Structure 1
Amino acid sequence: MQPTPPPLGSYVQSWTPGPVTAEDPLATGPAAALAALLDLPGPVAEAGDPLPPLWSWVYFPQWPAQRELGSDGHPRHGHFLPPVPDRQRMIAGGRCETTRPLRLGEPAERVTSLGTVAAKQGSTGELLFVTERREFRQRGHLCLVEEQDIVYRSGRGSARHTPVDADTAAPDSGEPWRLPLHPDPTLLFRFSALTANAHRIHYDTPYAQGEEGYPGPVVHGPLLVLLMLELARRHAPTRQVRSLSYRLRRPVFAGERVLASGTPSDSGAGLRIATRREERHATAEVMFR
C-alpha cells in the first residue's frame, strides 16, 4: 500500500522568497518581433510610444543554464518555484492595473514578489495556488502592477482531451469584435523563443502526446491572453486600458481553429477565446479610462 503523500501546504510552510529586481532597456526589438508573430503589418510602437497591455511579457527574459532545466524543459529550481516534488505548473489567470503605460526605449525596473500561497482540493487532486506580484517602474514612477496566479500540482495529472479537429472553424457568436487564429507548431515555437519558455509541451509533439497525454502541442496561455487583448487594441486604439483581468480555463492545442471575440461597452469590454470544443477556453475583462 502506497503511503499517503504529505499535503502540498506542508512543503511551503517556511517558503518565503524575498523580492527580486530586474531591469530591461525596453528596446523596440521584442515588440517588433511580437508584432511579426501576430502577423501585424508593422511594429505597433516605436521608441517613446506606449507598450500595449501585457506586451511586457516579452521583456525581462530569464535564461537559465541548460543544465538547470528538467526533462520537461522547465527549470528544476527557481526563486519563485515552490519546493513541491515532481512539480507541474500552469497559469490560471491574472490581473493588471495601469497608472501609466510603459514606454519603449526607456529603461524599466520590475520588482517581483510573492503574493498569496494557498493549497486547494481540485477535481484532479490537490493543487497549490501561488500568486506572483510584479511592479513596473520607469524614471522612478510606478507604471503598472501585475499579479499572475500560477497553479502547481505534484506529479502529472491524467490528461484526457478531445482530439484536435483542424478543419472545423470555431463557433462564431456574432460579437462585434472578432479575430481568428490558427496556431501551428511554428507559431508556438516562435512564441516560446520570444518569451524564453522552454517547456516542451509547447513545441515537442512526441513529448506532449507521450509524456503529458495531450493530443498535440499546447498553445501558451499568455498567447491566448494577448490575442484577446488584440481585440481591444485594434478596435479601440484611442482608449487606454486602465485595468484588466483574465482567466485561463481549458487548454487549446496546435492545429485548432481559434476565435477571439468580444463585446465592448462604454467602460470596457468582455473578451473570450473559443474553439469547436469549448466556447470559453479563456476569458478577459478590460476596463478603459
Structure 2
Amino acid sequence: MNIEKFVARRKALKLSQMTLCKGICTQATLSKFERNGRIPSLSILHRLCDRMGMTVDELNQDPAPSIVIIRKQLNTIERDLMMENYLKVQSALKTIDEAQIPAIPLRMQFFYLRGMLNAVTNKKPDEVLFDFSQILDELDEKHQTIFTQLAYVGSGITYTRINQPARADFFFKKAHEFINAALADQENEEDSNNYLRILTLIFYTANYYATKKNFELSDQLIQAGVDLCSQYHVTYYLPRLKFLAAENAVHEDADKTDIHQLLDEALAFARLNHNQVIELRVAALKNNGYVSNV
C-alpha cells in the first residue's frame, strides 16, 4: 500500500491529522498509519480516503469511479456558472445530494457553487452565507484553499447587495490581496481548475471596484484577467471581462470608437461561448444613449 501517496494527498490539501481524522478515528490511529505503516480497519481507511477525495484502491493506483463522476459533475456546473447559465446550474445542483459527497475538496466545491449561485441570483443572505460558512468555519478552517477566497468574494457580493459596505470592502480587499499573490506565483499549480477560479475572483473583484468608481484598479484587474485567459487559451470569462471594460470606458468618458471595439469584442466572445446574457447587455448598452453608432 502506498502510504506516501496518502500522506502527500493530505498535505496537498493542507489538512492536519486532527482535521482529517475528526469523527472517524483517533489522531494516534492516523499517526501510526502514516508513520509506522500500521493499517487501521478497512472501514476507517475508506472513510479517511473518502474525506480526501480518493479511495483505498487509489493507493494501489486504481481509479475511483464514484469520486471521478462527482468531480466531473461539479466541474461542469462550475463552467456553466462562469458562463452565467444560472438555470442550468440550479437544475444540476439539485441532482447532487451533498450528504453523498464525503471528500472535503468536493464538498468545498459544492458549497462554493451553491453559495455563489445564490449570491449572484439575489437569494436570501442567510442562505448564501450559510453555504460559505461551511467552507470558512468547517472545511477550510485554516483558510488556505482557493475556496476560502471564493467564499470571501461571494460574501462580498452579498454584503454589497444588502448595503453593508464595510463588510463588503473587507472581503474584497482579502480577495484582491490573494489575486496579486496568485498572479505572481502561478507555477506548480496542483489543481488545473485554479486558474479558472482565479479568473472568477478577478472578474467579481474588478466588478466590485467598478461599482466603487475605482476604475483604475478595476481596469488593472480586467487586464490581468484578459492576460490570464490568453495564457491558458480559455474564453469563458472574456465576454464578461470585455463588457465590464466597456462599461468602465463609458464611465471614464473614453473615445466612443474604443468603447465600440470593446463591445464588439464582448459580443464576439459572447457568441462564441453562447453567453446570451452578455449579448443582451451589449445590445442594451449600444442602444441606451451612452454610445452612438460609429
Judge same fold: TM > 0.5, yes or no: no
TM-score range, shorter chain: under 0.3
Select the structure of larger CA radius of gyration: 2
Q: TM-score, normalised by structure 2?
A: 0.22
Give the alignment's TM-score, normalised by structure 1. 0.22
Which structure's relative contact order is higher, taking Cα pairs within 8 Å and 6+ residues apart?
1
